[in-house]
Each structure stands twice: as C-alpha cells, then as structure tokens.
C-alpha cells in the first residue's frame, strides 16, 4: 500500500512536470511566432543608415520636435521608438550588413536611454497606452535580452501603461490591442500564469455587443456610443485583425482559441468587413469617417489576415480563399449581393462590375464621427444619404482637398457660403423612418431625411437591380434663402462628358454648365438617365485646394493641389417647396450604348414618387420595390394591387400577376407586425405569416411578424 502511494505520487509529479514542460514549450512556440512576425518586415540597409544619420549624439533624432506633445501635432515622437524597432530588426537580420553590429547596438541603447530618461507623454491617450508600449515591447522581444538590465527595467513602466484598467482598454477594438501588448510583454517577461489569463480575455472579446461598443448583430462595428459605423476602421485593424493575429500565435497550443470564437470572427470578416470593402479588396470611401481627409495610397488589402484565419480553421474556406485570390489579382469579382446593416443604417449593393452604397442615419444613431485630433473637419454631410459608386475602386481616390463638401454624391444639401464649425459636425438624426428592404440579392433603401444642420427635408429612396439603380426624391423643402442642391455624383474626371438634349448628342466642353432638358449624361463608363427631359448642372473642370484646408492637424502639406473633377447636380433653387427628382444610374456602360439605354430605360417603370409612396418596377426581372411612408395602395394593373395598412417597405418578386416572393421591413422599428393586402388567393406556410380571414374576393390579407430587439429593422422574406 505504501509502495502504491509512492508510485501515485511519482506519477502525479511526472504529470505536473510534463504539463509544465508542455506549457513552457507552448510559450516558446508562441514567442517564436511573434518574433518571426516582427522579422517579416523587410530590412533596408540604406534606411537604417538614414536613421543613424538623423540620430544625434545623445540618442535623440534631429527631425523630431520633442517639445510639441499636443494632439494636433500627431505625436511625431512615435517615430523615435519605431526607428529603434527598425534598428533592432536590422541587428537580428542575417541578410543585413548591420547584423550583430556592435556599433548599431550601442546606438539602440543610446536611443532607448534617451527615451527612458525623458518618458515622453502625449496629450492623446492613444500614444501613451498603445503607440509607445507597442514599439517598446516589440523592441524588447527583438533585442531586450541583450540590453542593459537597468534600461530594460526602466522601459517597463512605459510598456505597462498598456493594461486592462487603462482608459483605452474599453470594450471595442482598443481593448484587444492593449491586451495584445500586455500579452507580448508577459511573453518577454516569461510570466506564464498571467499570460494564460490575458489570452483568455482576448478570446472572450469576440462576441456580439449590440447597443454597446463592439460587434453588432448585423456584423457592423461601433467603436463608440454614438453608433457611427466603424467597421472597417476600429472594427477591422484594432478588433478583427488584432484577434486574428493572436488566434494565429496561439494556434495548436494549449492556449488556442475555441473554434466557435474563430468561426464567429470569420463570419464577421465575410459578412461585415468584406461586404464594406469594394469587392472585398479596396477601401470603400463611404464607410470612412474623419480619416477621409488623410492622403492614402490606392492598393488592394493584404492577404495576411486570411492566411491566419485559414491556419486556424477551414470554416467558409472557399469564400476566404476567393477574397485572397481577388486581393492578389488572380481572380476577377464574381459575387452579387445586397446587404443592409440595420444597426448602422448602411446599405451595400454589389455586382461583379460595380459596387455602390447608401449611408444614412436616424434617431437611433449619429451622423458622423467627431473630428478628434483634427482630421475630418468638413465631414458634416457625409451620411446625408451618401451614394458613392465604384467600378474600379479609385473613382474618388485622394479627391478630398479639391472636393466640394456640400455636393457629396447622393446628398441633398443647403448650399451655404461655408460649412458650420467642426465642433458642429456630429448630430443626432431627427427621423425614425430610415432603413432598407432586401432579400440578400436585390434591395431598396429609404431615408425620411431632415438635416440637423440646416433643416432641409426630403423623402429620398434608392432601388437596386442588376444593371441599373433608380434614385427618387420628393418633398424637397427648405426655408432658407440659400439654394438647395441634390448631387448625383462628384468624382475624379476620367473621360470626356457626353450628353443628349432632345436627341442631339454633344461632347461637353470643360467648364461649369447649366443644361436644359437633358436626356442622359455619360462619364467614365457610367450613364445618368433622366426619365423626362431634365434641367441639370454639370461641372467638368480643374478644381484646386490644399490638404491643410481640410484638417486641423499640424505638419500637413499646404501645397496647392489641382485635380480634374466631374460633378452633376440638381439645383432646387431657394426656399424649395415640394421639389422632386428622378434619375437612373447605369454602371459599366459605353457611351455608344446610351441611346438604347435611354429608350429602354433598362426596363424601369417609376410607379410613384410622392411624399407618401416611392415605388419602382423592373420589368425584365419582374420585381417591384416600394416604400410606404404611410398607409396607401399601389395599383400595378387591373389584376394586381398592393395595399399597405401602415408604413413600411416591400419588395415583390413576380411571375406575371402571381407573387413568388414577398420581402418586407419596418424602417421605423416601431411595428411588431405588418399588415398588407395583395391581389390573388394565397395560402402561405410560414410561421412568421398569418393569412387574415377576409370576405374580399381575390385578395389575400397578410400579417407578417417583424423582427424585434437586436434584429429590428432586418427584412423578412416570405416565399409564396
């Protein structure tokens, strides 16, 4: 018996030892992966020499103003710590002439000593809790084991500002980023127990947080309580990619994340992020906020995030691999979809040859980010029914210094002498009826618009089909003596501008033009068709501006920028009352095809454009889309009518006079059921639909249960 107890003790002891060895090995695997990732960045010896040339004797850099720690200065000090990381990378890279160079190491020590002695603390919390700790912990992982012990200890309090009680570690993207910095530091310090705790915290951050900061149930992302769309900013780099990075580091170790969390992240990428990128490849300018005023490089997104996902899971593998091939230029876009982010009031419509969006806001969310730290100061109207159209993705690339910020594509805006001050950008929406109806392939959006800036109002609606979409406006009104404009598009001018008036075709000379009774206008493979001859304004000329004019950040170029810009807009005049507009947008069409397009109207029939109903039929597809701002009735033919007993949006997919599919939604989010009557006798087997008894012949009255709670505003699809 004593012998048996000794054996058990020995076995248990061996198990504990084996577990410790396994844990130690796993930590080393993770640390190796982190360092390998840091070393993937290319080392350029000439760049390292240039860094050394800028470095002064005391370890500072001659090109950095260390005295200006203001928010608008942008904290150039981050370049100091980042350059130290570059130097450490060169020191450890065998292919560099600086590999294990003692002189380079001394300069790294000088630079870190200067930083530790001064402990530069910026006015923006982000620099202190993220930028500086990130660079310093990366430096430790690359070369910390070779640095003086007292210097490493001196850097720890600065790295330690990235902790879970820090102000920036609030739920949303920054929480994972800060947790990741902390996890890296624990790897460096070899604190296994604490490392395990922080990994579990990171894993728990992938979840729905609808109504709060974080991922919403429609797979959009809100970084703040203002409920502004941040899906492809904070929700991409600081949330999804930060989680995906750690899912890769800990994969196939005892620290690995659950497959449920990884698959949830994949859903968020595919149904949230990638559906708000042009073809899943390029930045969509419509979802940008204050960063719109930053100069950027036009290029496809990288494939690293997808490679990391595929390393951990094969869930939805084909879709991920398709996006990766698209980004590498090995495939052309092929997917078609319509997605409405009901938590964020944003609709995306894609076909293989074009991508377009509608951005709105309501009483449920605010219009735009506050221009924190200076950028984005002219963005007041960028959610006022913005409708950008992209065939290539670069149609608006860096247009912003010469942009007319009161003629934003799709918007109806009072034409003021100047915009309101930047502190007045963010506003609550004033109306409830803002939303969309979609079955995932086709869809329509509606915006009962009332400007919180200028009190302009309009009923605005968009109807999307395979090769054309329709834009309707009604009840456009304002009390100001200033004129009101509805802009169809404002983009970089990439071709000549052609048009017809009364059937006479003309090439529009450069300049600004008031055109009477236009039939259609064509520019850059896009046709703009007017169902009735329409007075329209077109500008096709060079515009000028400066990047420094559109941001309050410092150190921004004040060089005069010139770009050729195409603008097309309606002038509703001063104090408009009940003005309207109607136009068709035909993407990816040649100028030669425009006469036929104008004759056929692409099968479009505008059924009604009033302040109570806006409705369109696409005859070729036999689809009807309608927006009812109040109860009403549409009669399509003597045999077919649709009556709504309250407000809402409807889409009917027909086979002649027979309904095949019904899709409904409530943009106001106030109804629990939608009551409607449609011609014909139908029996429907759907738990969300009740056929209401009626004595009326050849009419079916339906009561459709609508989503509530986190799904309020989502469409309901009913197959007949």
Q: How far is CA 117 from CA 143, 567, 626, in A?
A: 19, 55, 67
Asked whether the CA dihedral 473, 477, 478, 482 is positive or negative, the reply is positive
So what's the pLDDT on residue 16? 42
So what's the pLDDT on residue 75? 87
So what's the pLDDT on residue 172? 72
CATH number of the domain at 170-335, out of 3.40.1190.20, 3.40.50.1220, 2.40.50.150, 1.50.10.100? Answer: 1.50.10.100
DSSP character for 88?
H
Distance CA 360, CA 382 (A): 9
Distance CA 61, CA 110 (A): 11
So what's the pLDDT on residue 11? 43
Token pair recorded at residue 47: 């760049």
Token pair recorded at residue 412: 């109806």
DSSP character for 622?
T
CATH number of the domain at 357-629, out of 3.20.20.450, 2.70.98.10, 2.60.120.20, 3.90.1150.10? Answer: 2.70.98.10
To 10 degrees, what angle do helices 173-189 and 192-203 make? 160
DSSP string for residues in 374-424: SB-TT-TTTTSSB--EESSS-TTTT-GGG--TTS-TT-EEE--SSPPPGGG
Place of tokens 């329509």: 444
361 neighbors 345 (Cβ within 8 angstroms)? yes
Closest CA to 553 of 375, 383, 363: 375
Give the SS3 label for residue 683: coil
b/e code 574-602 from CB counts within 10 Å (16+ = b): eebeebbbbbbbbbebebeebeebbeebb
- The yes-or-no answer to whether 170-335 and 630-720 have a common fold is no
Domain 630-720: homologous superfamily in CATH: Polysaccharide lyase family 8-like, C-terminal (2.60.220.10)
DSSP character for 235?
T
Q: Within 13 Å, how many C-alpha atoms sit on residue 571's CB side?
A: 15
So what's the pLDDT on residue 14? 41
> Mean pLDDT for each consecutive 10-residue tract of the chain (720 residues)?
52 44 79 95 95 95 90 86 96 96 96 95 89 96 95 95 91 87 95 94 95 96 95 94 95 95 97 98 97 96 96 96 98 98 98 98 96 94 98 98 98 97 96 98 98 97 98 97 97 97 92 97 98 97 97 92 98 97 98 96 97 97 98 90 96 94 97 94 90 78 96 96
So what's the pLDDT on residue 10? 47
Residue 675 CB neighbour total at 10 angstroms: 17
318 neighbors 416 (Cβ within 8 angstroms)? no
So what's the pLDDT on residue 5? 56
Closest CA to 561 of 576, 549, 551, 571: 549
pTM of the prediction? 0.92
Domain boundaries, the chain: 170-335, 357-629, 630-720
Closest CA to 395 of 588, 253, 208, 217: 588
Give me the sheet containing 689-692, strands edge to edge.
632-637, 640-644, 673-679, 699-705, 689-692
What DSSP element (H or E) covers 175?
A: helix 173-189
Closest CA to 375 of 556, 132, 173: 556
Place of tokens 């004759």: 599
So what's the pLDDT on residue 4? 52
Max intra-chain CA distance, the chain: 108
């Amino acid at each position: 018996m004593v012998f048996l107890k000794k054996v058990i003790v020995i076995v248990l002891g061996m198990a504990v030892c084996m577990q410790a060895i396994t844990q130690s090995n796993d930590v080393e695997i993770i640390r190796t992966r982190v360092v390998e990732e840091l070393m993937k960045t290319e080392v350029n010896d000439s760049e390292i020499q240039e860094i050394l040339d800028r470095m002064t004797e005391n370890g500072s850099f001659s090109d950095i103003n260390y005295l200006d720690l203001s928010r608008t200065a942008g904290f150039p000090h981050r370049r100091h710590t980042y350059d130290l990381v570059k130097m450490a990378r060169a020191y450890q890279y065998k292919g560099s002439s600086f590999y294990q160079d003692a002189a380079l190491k001394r300069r790294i020590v000088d630079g870190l000593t200067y930083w530790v002695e001064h402990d530069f603390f910026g006015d923006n919390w982000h620099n202190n809790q993220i930028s500086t700790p990130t660079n310093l912990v990366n430096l430790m992982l690359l070369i910390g084991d070779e640095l003086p012990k007292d210097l490493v200890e001196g850097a720890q309090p600065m790295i330690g500002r990235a902790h879970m009680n820090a102000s920036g570690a609030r739920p949303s993207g920054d929480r994972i980023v800060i947790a990741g910095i902390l996890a890296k530091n624990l790897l460096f310090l070899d604190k296994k127990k604490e490392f395990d705790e922080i990994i579990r915290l990171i894993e728990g951050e992938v979840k729905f947080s609808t109504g709060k900061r974080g991922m919403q149930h429609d797979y959009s992302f809100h970084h703040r309580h203002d409920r502004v769309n941040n899906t492809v900013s904070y929700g991409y780099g600081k949330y999804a990619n930060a989680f995906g990075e750690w899912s890769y580091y800990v994969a196939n170790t005892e620290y690995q994340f659950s497959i449920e969390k990884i698959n949830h992240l994949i859903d968020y990428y595919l149904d949230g992020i990638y559906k708000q990128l042009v073809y899943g490849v390029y930045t969509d300018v419509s979802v940008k906020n204050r960063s719109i005023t930053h100069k950027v490089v036009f290029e496809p997104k990288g494939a690293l995030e997808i490679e990391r996902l595929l390393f951990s899971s094969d869930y939805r593998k084909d879709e991920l691999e398709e996006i990766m091939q698209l980004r590498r230029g090995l495939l052309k876009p092929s997917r078609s979809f319509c997605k409405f982010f009901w938590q964020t009031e944003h609709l995306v419509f894609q076909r293989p040859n074009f991508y377009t969006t509608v951005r709105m806001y309501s009483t449920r969310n605010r219009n735009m980010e506050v221009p924190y730290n200076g950028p984005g100061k002219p963005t007041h109207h960028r959610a006022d029914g913005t409708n950008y159209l992209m065939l290539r993705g670069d149609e608006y690339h860096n247009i912003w210094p010469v942009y007319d910020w009161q003629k934003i594509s799709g918007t109806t805006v009072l034409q003021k002498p100047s915009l309101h001050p930047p502190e007045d950008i963010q506003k609550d929406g004033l109306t409830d009826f803002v939303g969309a109806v979609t079955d995932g392939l086709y869809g329509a959006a509606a915006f009962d618009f009332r400007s919180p800036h200028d009190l302009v109002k309009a009923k605005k609606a968009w109807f999307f089909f395979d090769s054309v979409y329709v834009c309707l406006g009604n009840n456009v009104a304002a009390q100001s003596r200033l004129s009101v404009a509805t802009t169809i598009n404002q983009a970089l001018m990439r071709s000549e501008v052609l048009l017809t008036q009364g059937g006479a075709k003309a090439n529009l000379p450069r300049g600004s033009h008031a055109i009477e009774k236009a039939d259609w206008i064509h520019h850059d493979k896009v046709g703009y068709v007017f169902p009735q001859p329409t007075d329209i304004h077109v500008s096709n000329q060079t515009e000028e501006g400066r990047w420094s004019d559109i941001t309050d950040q410092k150190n921004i170029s004040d060089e005069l920028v010139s770009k050729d810009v195409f603008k097309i807009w309606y002038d509703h005049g001063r104090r408009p009352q009940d003005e309207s507009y109607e136009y068709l947008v035909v993407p990816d069409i040649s100028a030669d095809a425009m006469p036929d397009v104008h004759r056929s109207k692409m099968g479009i029939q505008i059924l009604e454009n009033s302040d109570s109903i806006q409705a369109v039929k696409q005859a070729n597809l036999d689809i009807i889309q309608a927006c009812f701002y109040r109860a009403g009735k549409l009669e399509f033919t003597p045999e077919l009518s649709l009556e709504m007993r309250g407000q809402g949006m409807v889409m009917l997919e027909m086979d002649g006079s027979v309904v095949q599919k019904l899709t409904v939604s409530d943009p106001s989010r106030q109804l629990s059921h939608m009551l409607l009557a449609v011609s014909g006798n139908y029996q429907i087997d759907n738990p969300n639909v009740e056929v209401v008894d009626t004595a009326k012949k050849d009419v079916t009255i339906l009561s459709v249960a609508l989503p509530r709670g986190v799904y309020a505003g989502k469409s309901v699809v009913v197959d007949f």
